[in-house]
Amino acid sequence: NRLKTIQSSSNGEPKFIYAHIMMPHPPYYFDAEGNKNNFKISNDPNNKNTYLEQLKYTNHLLMETLKSILNPDGNPPIIVVQGDHGFRRFKEKNKKDVEFSVLSCYYFPGKEYSSFTDSMKTINTFPLIFNKYFHQNFQLLN
């Protein structure tokens, strides 16, 4: 619920907001509509249906938050949506390329993305942003 207040709390000053959203990690508390699941159902990490339901709700919350940040009347934002790991749930073994494939989405003023490549390591996300938009000179890590 705190993410919904990002835009409404604006005082015109630049701000850095970091949110670590533990969804759709188990336990899967919510269904696709945001209703709470009962604990017995939500606490099963191998329940694919509750995972998918919470994923749908997570995607809805994320889209609503992004819409509130992308206010055409405000300062152009820098937005980073990044996962901490790829899909690695349920009893099946995942291929390493799936498990270690991390979602990384960016939105920058001017839509200049040439510094961000498919092979870039996620640890370099913020150094690249700080170098490009805040005139810093951070070294990138290999």
Q: What is the pLDDT of residues 11-62, one digit of tens each?
A: 666 677 778 888 888 888 899 999 998 877 777 877 888 889 999 999 999 8
Q: What is the pLDDT of residues 83-125, one digit of tens each?
A: 876 666 655 565 555 555 778 889 988 888 888 888 888 899 9
Classify residue 19 as exposed, middle or buried by CB count within 10 Å of its CB (0-12, 13-18, 19+): exposed
Q: What is the pTM of this model?
A: 0.75
pLDDT value at residue 16: 74
| φ, ψ for residue 82, nearest 5 deg | -140, 135
CA distances, 69 to each of 5, 11, 16, 60 (Å): 10, 13, 12, 14
